[in-house]
Structure 1
Amino acid sequence: MRITTELGDITRVDVDAIVNAANSSLLGGGGVDGAIHAAAGPRLLDACRKLRRNGLPVGDAVATPAFELPARWVIHTVGPNRTRGQTDPALLASCFTRSLDVAAELGARTVAFPAVGAGAYGWSPDDAAAAAVGAVRAWPGDGVEHVRFVLFGERLLTAFDTALGDNAP
């Protein structure tokens, strides 16, 4: 699997699936979640309402159509909120592996990830990058050919580039 990093807006990338750093309600929020909901249009919120039942557990993932986005699907995952005491890096890594599992089930070959957990949920860029890169590299599935980490700031890009270099085979 090819893994790349780039500075950019995840709502504008042309991939099969983008990953949304969602909250457990799946009803939109701030940051990446708010940007994805705004760019996808109101049908995304309607699709999320149908899925949410009791909310999505931390570390799990679920897909919806992407509607107005250039991607075909949005894969929603809920990161652990470090500011609320959810400090287990295995839960953060699970966001990436479960998202890749869902992508493979959909037949997605290209997937774009944001820095799940590195915003309001309080994970440092370095810790988020280490968990993300480690999880993607260790993912045992197949079918996904290219993972793109689409990051919104230079500090995140540097952290992900460093993690990719530190984890080189």
Structure 2
Amino acid sequence: MIEVIKGDITTVEVDAIVNAANTSLLGGGGVDGAIHRAGGKEILEDCRKIIARQGSCKTGEAVITTAGKLPAKFVIHTVGPVWNGGNKNESDKLADCYFNALKLAVENDCVSIAFPGISTGIYRFPKTMAAHIAVKTTVDFLAGTDKIKQVLFVCFDDEYEMLIKTELDLYNRSHSR
């Protein structure tokens, strides 16, 4: 049900890929820029409609758009927290990103979803902590639903791939007793 791969999230064939977006939803660097470039103008047009309706997407929230030219059906945009030392509820906000993305996936009949390392790039969230939050939140969510059949953690680098695999192993060992 949960897999870890190293690669480019814009090439993954799942119902929904998750975008580590910024509050404007209008594209940026890293994963966000790659998704907007690969998906084309349809994604940006949908994002503009959302912004016109609600003003912005706040940290921890998630919204859904078309996937444009991507092999996925949808892009779920979520705004991860910028790391400020851990004293501004960054961990809770990151958990909200995963929870709200999974909730939107279920609400839109997605059975497969792919996550990048939300906030682990320019937002400087410590990767070890981010991997723990990603795995724990996802596993806890999946325990309450049978709708999602596949979750992919698509890792950009070897370090985050190893951290996610380690967290999954720790979780599996602690729950197999």
TM-score tier by shorter-chain length is over 0.9
8 Å CA contact 1:83–1:121 kept in 2: the answer is no
2:28 is paired with a residue whose SS is coil
Matched residue, 1:166: 170
Tell me how far apart the structure 2 counterparts of residues 56 and 63 of structure 1 sit (CA, whole Å). Answer: 11
1:48 deviates by 0.3
Question: Displacement of 1:165 after TM fit?
Answer: 1.0
Report what 1:136 is aligned to: 138
Deviation per residue, 1:62-112 (Å, 9 max, x gap): 100101000000000001111486453111011001000000011000000
Preserved CA contact (<8 Å) 1:65 1:72 = yes
Say whether the 8 Å CA contact 1:81–1:87 is kept in structure 2. no
Q: What amino acid is aligned across from residue 162 of structure 2 in structure 1?
A: T
Give the number of aligned pairs.
168
- Structure 1 segments, 4+ long, off by >3 Å, are 83-87
Give RMSD over aligned pairs.
Answer: 1.3
Q: Does 1:62 align with 2:66?
A: no
Which entry has the higher C-alpha Rg, 1 or 2?
2
Deviation at 1:42, TM superposition (A): 1.3
In 1, Cα distance between equivalents of 2:13 and 2:79: 23
What does 1:20-169 correspond to in 2, within 5 Å? 20-52=19-51, 53-83=54-84, 86-139=88-141, 140-168=144-172, 169=175
TM-score calculated relative to the size of structure 2: 0.91
Q: Comparing 143-152 with 82-91, which one deviates more in the overlay?
A: 82-91
**1:98-157, CA deviations, whole angstroms, 9 ceiling, x for partnerless residues?**
000000011000000000011111112111100100000111334111100001100010
d(CA) in 2 for partners of 1:135, 1:70: 26
In 2: Cα distance, 1:64 partner to 1:50 partner: 10
Structure 2: which 5+ runs fail to align? none
Task: Report the TM-score when normalising by structure 1.
Answer: 0.95
Say which SS state the counterpart of residue 145 (structure 2) adopts: coil
CA contact (8 A) 2:82 2:90 kept: no
